[in-house]
Structure formats: C-alpha cells, structure tokens
Amino acid sequence: MAAFYHDCNDGLIPCQRRWKFELPNHYITSGKHPGKTLDIGTWNLEAKMPGETPFFLCEWRATRKVI
C-alpha cells in the first residue's frame, strides 16, 4: 500500500488529508534496485478522492506504543 499525507486545500482543518491505494504485488521488491517501477503520473492533491480520510497526527502519536 502507498499512502500520501498532505495539507493541500484543507483550510483550517487541524489534520492532514490521507490518500492511500493498493500497489500490485509485482511492483513490490526488495534490494538496492527495483525490478519494476510504477509510474503513477501527476496528481492534483487539491482534489477530493473517493475514500479519502483525515489523519489526525497528534492522536496517532498519542496512541503509538514506543518499544
């Protein structure tokens, strides 16, 4: 999964906007050089995406367990 966190066009909302999408398995590799790359093109982050959710970073940090 790839996730993008941004503050584009969210006005005074005290959180980041989050876009996430699944990557096809054949684009997921390990090592120094990728076997295959995925060109996602150019995205306008001001647009509202279906399934977009707000991400409250301060709440996430408060619930994280530090090991």
Give per-residue pLDDT as tens, 47-61. 777 777 677 655 554
Dihedral through CA 22, CA 25, CA 31, CA 37, nearest 10? -70
Identify the band that residue 11 occupies on the pLDDT scale cut at 50, 70 and 90: low
Sheet of strand 2-6: strand arrangement: 2-6, 16-21, 53-55
The answer to pTM > 0.95 is: no
Give residue 47's domain range: 2-63
Domain count, the chain: 1
Percent of the chain at pLDDT exceeding 90: 0
d(CA 4, CA 19): 5
Helix, strand, or coil here: 18? Answer: strand
